[in-house]
Amino acid sequence: MSALQQAQLDMAAHLRDPQGQPAPGGVEERRLQIYRDLIFNNIDNFLRSGFPVLHSLYTTEQWLELVRAFINGHRSHTPYFPEIGQEFLGFLMHEHTLRECDPAFILELAHYEWVELALDIAQEELPAAQPVDDIAGQVLQLSPLAWVLNYSYPVHRIGPGYRPDETEPTFLCVYRDRQDKVCFIALNAATARLLELLRDNQTRPADAVLEFLAAELGLAPQSVSDFGLAQLREFFELGVVLPAAADASCPS
pLDDT digits (tens, 9 = 90+) for 175-208: 999 999 999 999 999 999 999 999 999 999 999 9
In the chain, beta strands by DSSP E: 140-142, 146-151, 170-176, 182-187, 241-243
Report pLDDT digits (tens) over 220-243.
Answer: 999 999 999 999 999 999 999 999
For the segment 99-112, what is each residue's pLDDT rounded down to a tens digit?
A: 999 999 999 999 99
This prediction's pTM: 0.87
Q: Which pLDDT belongs to residue 14? A: 67
DSSP, collapsed to helix, strand or coil, labels residue 147 as strand
Is residue 173's pLDDT more than 70?
A: yes
CATH number for 140-243 (one of 3.30.565.10, 1.20.140.10, 3.90.930.50, 1.20.1370.20): it is 3.90.930.50
For residues 122 and 209, what is the distance between their CA atoms, to the nearest angstrom? 28
Neighbours of 134 (CB within 10 A): 9
pLDDT value of residue 4: 67
Residue 118 has pLDDT above 50, yes or no: yes
Calculate the alpha carbon distances from 164 to 75, 103, 140, 171, 242 in Å: 32, 9, 36, 16, 35
**Burial degree of 181 (CB within 10 A; 0-12, 13-18, 19+):** exposed
Q: What angle do CA 7, 9, 12 make, to 5 degrees?
A: 110
Residue 211 has pLDDT above 60, yes or no: yes
Give whole-number Cα distances, 174 to 117, 145, 156, 179, 209, in Å.
Answer: 11, 8, 10, 14, 21
Domain residue ranges in the chain: 3-102, 140-243
For the cut 50, the answer to whether the pLDDT of residue 251 exceeds it is no
As a whole-number percent, the residues of the chain with pLDDT over 90 amount to 71
Q: What mean pLDDT do residues 59-65 have?
A: 97
Question: What DSSP line would sit under 28-88, residue for residue?
Answer: -HHHHHHHHHHHHHHHHHHHHHHSHHHHHTS-HHHHHHHHHHHHHH---S---GGGHHHHH
Q: Indicate whether 250 pLDDT > 70.
A: no
Which of residues 14 and 222 earns the better pLDDT score?
Answer: 222
CATH architecture of 3-102: Orthogonal Bundle (1.10)
| Higher pLDDT, residue 179 or 21 | 179
Parallel/antiparallel/unpaired status of strands 170-176 and 146-151: antiparallel
How large is the average pLDDT for residues 83-101?
95
Q: Which residues of 215-252 are buried (b: 16+ CB within 10 A; e: fewer)?
A: eeeeeeeeebbeebeebbbebbebbbbbebeeebeeee
